[in-house]
Amino acid sequence: MPPTLVRLPPDDWPALAELIYRCNQRSDGGVHCLHAAQGADIASHASELQALPPDEAAFWAIKEGGQLVGVVGCEFDPALARAWVRGPLLTDGRLLADILPVVGATLESALAQVTQFDAFPAANGAGLNHWYTAAGYEALQVHRVLRATVGKEPAMARSVRRAATAELLALLSLHQSLFPNAYIGRTNFERAVAQGGDCALFAARSGD
């Protein structure tokens, strides 16, 4: 019997953190799905899942014989008719072929207002890239991940400083005007301005 997908209520999303974190890790230290990677540990994943707006995300448990064997989900924006997929992530990568017929149909049926699904598998991860190709996704070659390794925090220009909570709405408006189709939204900005979080947001003013 092929695996089945069961949609989970928002209260159950944080409990997926351990499974998502564990199944997303690769033996070489990388991750399978870039969009599913939401921090350096299980706690940061659980916190992010807890903060997701219930009407802007959806997650499905992947079960085989009644046992939880994976998860797939997405964030979506009805106004843009777009969704950004997380996963699918599985305890056994060999199950990817088994879920191929059901994942796309399930997400498309549940999110009828969405006409475009985007995915973010790691470029050097064969498993998810092959799965997405078989599922009908096409590589757009429009995103590139860049990394800088520094020994100490670089000095910032006087006009650049860490953004404050009071500036959140203004920065969101600026971001939307510059990147109207971006997948980074308010939840990400709120995490970034929170002190002690796993990411940061910086602002620059002219004339400072």
Q: Tell me the per-residue pLDDT of 89-115, one tens digit each, with 9 for 90 and over.
A: 999 988 999 999 999 999 999 999 999
Across the range 139-166, mean pLDDT stands at 74
Q: What H or E segment, with its residue span, contains residue 68?
A: strand 67-77
Q: Write down the pLDDT at residue 154.
A: 63
Q: Tell me the per-residue pLDDT of 40-60, one tens digit each, with 9 for 90 and over.
A: 899 999 999 999 999 999 999
Q: Write down the pLDDT at residue 13.
A: 98
- Give 81's contacts (C-beta < 8 A, 6+ positions apart): 113, 114, 115, 116
First vs last C-alpha separation in the chain: 64
Q: Write down the pLDDT at residue 188.
A: 79
Other C-beta atoms lying within 10 Å of the C-beta of residue 46: 20
Positive or negative, the CA dihedral 146, 29, 182, 136 is positive
Across the range 111-134, mean pLDDT stands at 92
